[in-house]
Amino acid sequence: MSNLDNMNRVFLLTLGCIAFALTITQVAAQSSSPGTTRTAIFAGGCFWCIQPAFDKAKGVIKTVVGYSGGTEPNPTYELVTSEKTNYRESIEVTYDPAKISYNQLLDIYWRQIDPTQADGQFTDVGPSYRAAIFYGNAEEKKIAEASREKLAHSGKFNKPIVTEILAAMKFYPAEAYHQKYYQQNPEHFEAFEHGSGRVSFKKKTWER
């Protein structure tokens, strides 16, 4: 075999190896595609207080607190808490549906709020603190309604469940100082959470 033939064989073999490597890389990239994640939006009163439970849940990738339910662009904390808009303090949960279901997220959500309170949550009273589940599609709406019905018949509450189930609107992240507030200011967070009555309510309702 001539040197030219040997060179051609080496060249073709090298091209084959490169093509194979590129194929493997593409398959790996597709298998780790972020398209497999989903988001869910919940309003549950003070957004500081509902973030920790979702952060701890296996299958939750990321949480961001913010504002949803209103129409004014780029809302601020000052605008929302002025109670002149329809925005509610909310949380956007990004999750892996292969590890945690939407129904399981709802179970976590119900345990963070008082679903019988219509004017806000605990000592936080006003339109921006009203609880709501913001569904993204018909399937989420169906699951949320079934979950609420199940809760209503659970025997946990002696008053009607009034948490609203609403079509999702644009979600705006809150200011940086609100994100992971329980980590940024743990002492103030703990005092606020206990002082609001949320902690005692959760213990009385779910730890019996």
DSSP string, 107-126: HHHHTTS-TT-SSEETTEES
Q: Which domain holds residue 1?
A: 1-32
CB count within 10 Å of CB 201 equals 16
What are the residue numbers of the active site? 46
Residues 97 and 136 in one domain: yes
pLDDT at site 190: 97
| Percentage with pLDDT > 70 across the chain | 83
Residues 18 and 50 in one domain: no
Residues 147-169 have pLDDT tens digits of 999 999 999 999 999 999 999 99
Residues 28 and 38 in one domain: no
Q: 109: pLDDT confidence band, cut at 50, 70 and 90?
A: very high
Taking all residues of the chain, what is their mean pLDDT, rounded to a whole number? Answer: 88
Residues 58 and 40 in one domain: yes
Residues 57 and 27 in one domain: no
Residues 121 and 64 in one domain: yes
pLDDT higher than 60, residue 1: no
User: What are the distances in angstroms from CA 7 to CA 14, 15, 18, 21, 200?
Assistant: 11, 12, 17, 21, 78
Residues 2 and 60 in one domain: no
Q: What average pLDDT does the segment 87-96 reach?
A: 98
Residues 192 and 177 in one domain: yes
For residue 130, which of 142, 122, 138 has the smallest C-alpha distance?
A: 122
31-49 b/e (C-beta count within 10 Å ≥ 16 → b)? eeeeeeebebbbbbbbbbb
How many domains does the structure of the chain reveal? 2
Residues 28 and 127 in one domain: no
Residues 183 and 83 in one domain: yes
Residues 2 and 61 in one domain: no
pLDDT at site 207: 86
Q: What average pLDDT does the segment 81-110 reach?
A: 97
Q: For the domain that residue 85 is a member of, what is the CATH number?
A: 3.30.1060.10
Distance from C-alpha of 147 to C-alpha of 137, rounded to nearest angstrom: 15
Residues 85 and 47 in one domain: yes
pLDDT at site 88: 98
| Percentage with pLDDT > 90 across the chain | 82
Residues 29-78 have pLDDT tens digits of 333 345 699 999 999 999 999 999 999 999 999 999 999 999 999 999 99
Q: 13: pLDDT confidence band, cut at 50, 70 and 90?
A: very low
Distance from C-alpha of 52 to C-alpha of 4, rounded to nearest angstrom: 67
